[in-house]
Amino acid sequence: MKNMVKKVAIFSMIGMMQVGLGISAIEASPIHNAPVNIQQHDGDKGQHGEDRFEYERHERERFEREKHVRERVENERYENEMRDMHRHFFETNSHYHERRDQATERHEKALEDIRHEHYKHHDEHHGR
Give the integer Cα–Cα distance in Å for 49 and 57.
13
Backbone φ and ψ of 55, nearest 5°: -60, -45
Each residue's pLDDT tens digit, 51-106: 888 888 888 898 889 999 999 999 999 998 888 888 888 889 999 999 999 999 99
- Read off the pLDDT of each residue in 114-126 and give the average, rounded to a whole number: 67
This model's pTM is above 0.85: no
Are the C-beta atoms of residues 103 and 80 closer than 8 Å to each other? no
Q: If residue 94 lies in a helix (H) or strand (E), which one and from where to where?
A: helix 93-125
Q: What is the pLDDT of residue 46?
A: 47
Q: Where are the domains of the chain?
A: 56-128
- Give the DSSP letter of residue 37: P
Which is more confident, 24 or 49?
Answer: 24
- Read off the pLDDT of each residue in 98-124 and give the average, rounded to a whole number: 83
